[in-house]
Structure 1
């Protein structure tokens, strides 16, 4: 959107005259093709367009409030609008012309005349300073000037569409409407995701990252639907999104040079995301094949055409990202219809659940909104002091307002001022106490333990605590005291998160950005965008860098400044976070500068030390580091040292020799386990040689069969016994063995010789049915299979069934 503004300078006449001059002289649009809309009561604008500019009355349309009156909200600045439309078909004349006819008109320029203030009762009062806010659609103007039928075919987007069509071995000009629409979606979405990734929004399963992921997956799905295979450069397994992204970046070179500098990072991210999703799609294709087979197998049950259920179609769509169009196309090829009505029901259920999740309100709004009308915003004093006197302005017990609360009760307290930090920016709320020692009029002492502090309804601090002694009343003056030791721990950890983000950008790349954080008293947690686990070397490098900054004893600088100045200075802001006109900037000179309202140390030396205790993935593209600093760092290192001392004492070695000693123990343990396993297998073979005598022959099939229990052999030993028996018998032979190795488990194994398999009896299918009696399952190859269960009391019954089923199968096969 292109815009220009005036705040108390020029107004309606100048805005209208200059807009006409820009469109007709600078852009060269034919005046006879331009139509105007004005607010129905705005006679002044109508007069200016007709009398001052010269637009015929027939081409000026009065429109209602929904179309031509702009408001900023329920109350606030507002005013009438005037819009300029371009006429693609002037030959249709004036009679019956409707500006809402998209096939003829397009609105490309909007002038908002902010001349009123809307009050709570809905009435309008004139503003002392009248303002202008105008906007012109860049893509719409490009469409008009380039004489193309829609925005997508302008030189801003069409090269991306054309590239996608080439990859699909298609021609946009010759394509049908459905294909053209799909190509337009690819062009639009690709431009969006390239810019989002460039700005640090990575594909993930949460928040804004999920939006990027959905856009990418839609492009991949549509690409497959159009027949795009590979990258168009001979690699049919390659990703095609990076090829399209190169076109997006090339188009943007003169607009946003930073895009090209981040090109490698953008292409790598798109390649990873596409290839990962293709694997998901392939799993979906296998599941679709299974669903279709099930539908076809039920074809004759009711005489109707086989149909894929709405639940199955939705599962493919929602879980596997499988396009409905592809599902319908593949199903049609197999002669199966799809239950679209059932799919729509499932989709609507998901929408309702999603909407319900968005409608969850954190606080009991009713009573608190009423209370908030009489409770002012809380003045926060905690940057400069940890104790202060304050007046109790409101009390809540179980969400209901109260005037006084007695000893032993949990209570939520609102004060006019407080040194307590309320949870925000990842930093948890302070702990501490409220005191009232008493006076001549009030002899009783009051003590309230504060366990948490939250913000509610804007900037009201809710102190959550328990009354340990006395009574708390609205209007009472109390002394508020923050737990200084816990506050220091929070300050240390919060400053350490700033150092951690700076270290991550230095070690793994400046493109990484914060995706969330927790600043607690005992640790810090930092989530960041990255596509792979950090290596041991990278973790060590990050720790060394942060501890070096700590030892430099750098004095922090905290300033409050305009948001624009902070961004210009290079301060890092959390993407998606809302900031006011004035922001607090916390700087570690030479290391980090961030917008942050949290509490911090004065000097990095207060952090004392920093240690990463874990690094793991929490979602696709999102990693999490947990670390300790300050007092928590000392406690962690001390505990680890104690563990090492104890280990050294147990192993009777020095600390530097522990690793070698443990490696030797593990190797000895591995060898011992191998030896035990070998002995167990030898015992199993010996037992098998004994039960070989129990083999019996099935009639004329001449198949030697053994079905026996082998007590408590484990699964590996049972396998060795079965293999020994089959090998020792002449082909054909069938062996089924069972055991109960303990822990309430059952092990079953089936081994069939080639001759038995050749009769159509497969071990994998056979053993699965037997295992069901033992509350389990299993499978394997035609000649060998294993299974398990958790009902050892049923094992003998299962073996009896195996014996009966084998006799029946072999007898029927021979006959």
Structure 2
């Protein structure tokens, strides 16, 4: 649900996101068609959650996709067969209607002439309704796009049909403004989406997604936590549905490592939890209760996602901590609200600026302000509030998002030429060829400005440089060819493409140039020590505080590491000593470190630890240390734990609710830390005239 290699979105919003490269024709095409069930999270319709029968934040998207394989005719025929055949869903075909794009005569003809759907059950709609992205021909963005055909089902007892499946025919590339701005793609693609919950409501004969067999028990659990009996039409029914939806979304998000916080994905989690807590607060629940719903959420979702059962305690703890913080926010903000309400008595309206200040300073959600205002016979100037919010986002940068997840920039153009072959597990020096130069956010054929200030990016056909990923920093080093020398200060990767970031020191660069790529060996050795020590630390934590101390993030660099893990309280001094001792015991035994490529299921059977929420390919790299540590890992490691030399813990601190961080040093930096400590003790002995360190006051 949390994409690891796509900075354009915070959460996966649709089934097609993982196939962006395939749709754009970037990199090797390993398959031409796919079928998926994708966990998604959207907040665009957050205000409708619990109000309408079908809106959610978290949902599961079913989809089938074609990348230059089958197209419109097959997609329509197969969709109809899947929906109506008794072999599959067996829906009554007389209850189905469809829409097509205004001038998509091909789709209309297939539905009418081949499927046999009467013309009066086929509607033609404009680009705002039946084009993806919506209105893209006239309004953009540039990139791949196409008409779509939506399938609607009128359930028995319903007054209006509901969309259950959208078939998108991505057959154009939009370039510039109309007219004549839709260029046919050389290979046409299919992208379909069907909400699992909405499909289930049709099959189960209920008129709301929240009444299906998985979601209704969650709504009932929300009612029980509020000491209210849930029913769909009850006055508190909407609140229970919103609470159940938001807690389900947050259970998955926190499980995958997104804890409540001030920005990006963490802010979305905080927003959802506080909205859910607000619903309870307005119904009289003045103490934490959301965390008690986690077991009910897990019970409903553990069959398709058994891994979420392993983090129930951690997720519950994180949610409870955020609830307590929210209630504290309300307590601190209420006096300010009461002053604003008193000031607004004459006009009857709380200004947008005051409402935004209440939100920005005290964390009051606008919905909470509006509800409390209503209880005092007041309204809130929501329009002015939104203006204040947009002004803040524009100045802070928090409102900036990519125009289109499908736009192709210099990186995408390079990826279309093929990826980079990584050889850095076995060699630190490789002969390579320059395949791309990025300067000023543009692809250039050559670069001669030696001594430039702004770094540029170099793409090679093959490389020994490790690209930053999995918490390990990118390699540094140099590229040389004759009188040309390029200093690599960082290495980044985007999918299968490695970008070597740095500065031209002398000579000139051009595409096609053959260079010697040389990794800084001393720096790489320090990174390897720190990365192997990170695995030893993970193992030591499991032995000391339990297996629920699961990894939540890491940063591995030259003889330095930080490791974030799930834990509800600070480690005691004794526990920190135990962890450090266990790490160094593992170092002292000099256990062999091995790596092997295994099928993912075989790796799991061997007990290999995987990061929660991480997606892995069918074949994975398994790093084993002796008989005590087995993890899935793509980083660079030592050949023996003894090569770490020494590991010293520097600090242990909180970084988020329910997440702790240990910082440590290895090798020469750990030794230097010991010497610094010895020097400090010696100076204290001299100043306090203590012959022995044991005689120093404690």
TM-score (normalised: structure 2): 0.72
Distance 1:557 1:373, change over 3 A: closer
CA RMSD of aligned residues (A): 4.8
Say whether the 8 Å CA contact 1:241–1:271 is kept in structure 2.
yes
1:220 CA drift (Å): 0.5
Distance 1:632 1:183, change over 3 A: same
> SS at 1:322's partner residue?
coil
Any idea what the Cα deviations from partners look like across 1:412-462, whole Å, max 9, x if unmatched? 4736444343444433343445556x6xxxxxx666655444457972432
**Paired residue for 2:273?**
216
Question: How many pairs are equivalent?
Answer: 612
**Paired residue for 1:275?**
324
> SS at 1:464's partner residue?
strand
Aligned pairs for 1:482-493 (under 5 A) are 482-493=519-530
Aligned pairs for 1:9-28 (under 5 A) are 15=78, 18-19=81-82, 22=85
Task: Tell which deviates more after alignment, 214-223 or 244-253.
Answer: 244-253
Say whether the 8 Å CA contact 1:405–1:473 is kept in structure 2.
no
**Paired residue for 1:313?**
355
The whole-number CA distance in structure 1 between the counterparts of 2:122 and 2:379 is: 53
Aligned pairs for 1:342-381 (under 5 A) are 342-353=384-395, 358-359=400-401, 378-381=420-423
Say whether the 8 Å CA contact 1:200–1:512 is kept in structure 2.
no
1:122 aligns with 2:167: no
Match of 1:625 among 656, 662, 673: 662
The whole-number CA distance in structure 2 between the counterparts of 1:122 and 1:550 is: 61
1:588 aligns with 2:650: no
1:222 CA drift (Å): 1.2
The whole-number CA distance in structure 2 between the counterparts of 1:321 and 1:142 is: 37
Any idea what the Cα deviations from partners look like across 1:277-303, whole Å, max 9, x if unmatched? 21121111133234445x27xx8xxxx
Task: Tell which deviates more after alignment, 529-538 or 405-414.
Answer: 405-414
Distance 1:323 1:613, change over 3 A: closer
Distance 1:13 1:162, change over 3 A: closer
> SS at 1:421's partner residue?
coil
Say whether the 8 Å CA contact 2:153–2:162 is kept in structure 1.
yes
1:194 aligns with 2:246: no
Aligned pairs for 1:409-808 (under 5 A) are 412=456, 414=458, 416=460, 417-434=462-479, 450-455=488-493, 459-465=497-503, 467=505, 471-474=507-510, 478-560=515-597, 571-572=608-609, 574=611, 584-588=621-625, 590-653=627-690, 655=692, 657-658=694-695, 661-663=696-698
1:612 CA drift (Å): 0.7
Say whether the 8 Å CA contact 1:89–1:104 is kept in structure 2.
no
> SS at 2:649's partner residue?
strand
**Paired residue for 1:182?**
239
From the two aligned structures, give the one with the greater helix fraction.
1
**Paired residue for 2:30?**
none
The whole-number CA distance in structure 2 between the counterparts of 1:637 and 1:254 is: 50
1:41 aligns with 2:111: no
The whole-number CA distance in structure 1 between the counterparts of 2:242 and 2:124 is: 35
Distance 1:541 1:207, change over 3 A: farther
TM-score (normalised: structure 1): 0.63
Higher relative contact order (CA 8 A, sep 6+): 2
The whole-number CA distance in structure 1 between the counterparts of 2:597 and 2:436 is: 30
The whole-number CA distance in structure 2 between the counterparts of 1:581 and 1:317 is: 46
1:579 CA drift (Å): 6.3
Any idea what the Cα deviations from partners look like across 1:547-605, whole Å, max 9, x if unmatched? 22222323223334666776676655556667667654433354444444432212211
1:346 CA drift (Å): 1.5
Q: Considering only CA atoms, is the larger Rg found in Structure 1 or Structure 2?
A: 1
> SS at 1:83's partner residue?
strand
1:89 CA drift (Å): 5.9
The whole-number CA distance in structure 1 between the counterparts of 2:568 and 2:601 is: 32
The whole-number CA distance in structure 2 between the counterparts of 1:56 and 1:204 is: 53
Say whether the 8 Å CA contact 1:190–1:219 is kept in structure 2.
yes
Task: Tell which deviates more after alignment, 421-430 or 25-34.
Answer: 25-34
1:614 CA drift (Å): 0.9
Distance 1:15 1:493, change over 3 A: same
The whole-number CA distance in structure 1 between the counterparts of 2:412 and 2:92 is: 59
Distance 1:132 1:123, change over 3 A: closer
**Paired residue for 2:198?**
140
The whole-number CA distance in structure 2 between the counterparts of 1:191 and 1:374 is: 38
**Paired residue for 1:104?**
160
Distance 1:413 1:654, change over 3 A: same
Say whether the 8 Å CA contact 1:40–1:63 is kept in structure 2.
no
Say whether the 8 Å CA contact 1:405–1:411 is kept in structure 2.
no
Any idea what the Cα deviations from partners look like across 1:375-428, whole Å, max 9, x if unmatched? 975544332222344456677788896543557988747364443434444333
Unaligned runs of 5+ in 2: 1-59, 134-140, 176-181
Say whether the 8 Å CA contact 1:88–1:105 is kept in structure 2.
no
Say whether the 8 Å CA contact 1:555–1:588 is kept in structure 2.
yes
1:158 aligns with 2:220: no
**Paired residue for 1:286?**
335
The whole-number CA distance in structure 2 between the counterparts of 1:409 and 1:332 is: 57
Any idea what the Cα deviations from partners look like across 1:215-240, whole Å, max 9, x if unmatched? 111110111112234xxxxxxxx422
The whole-number CA distance in structure 2 between the counterparts of 1:477 and 1:601 is: 30
1:494 CA drift (Å): 1.7
> SS at 2:623's partner residue?
strand
Any idea what the Cα deviations from partners look like across 1:580-639, whole Å, max 9, x if unmatched? 676544333544444444322122111112111111123444432210112222222222
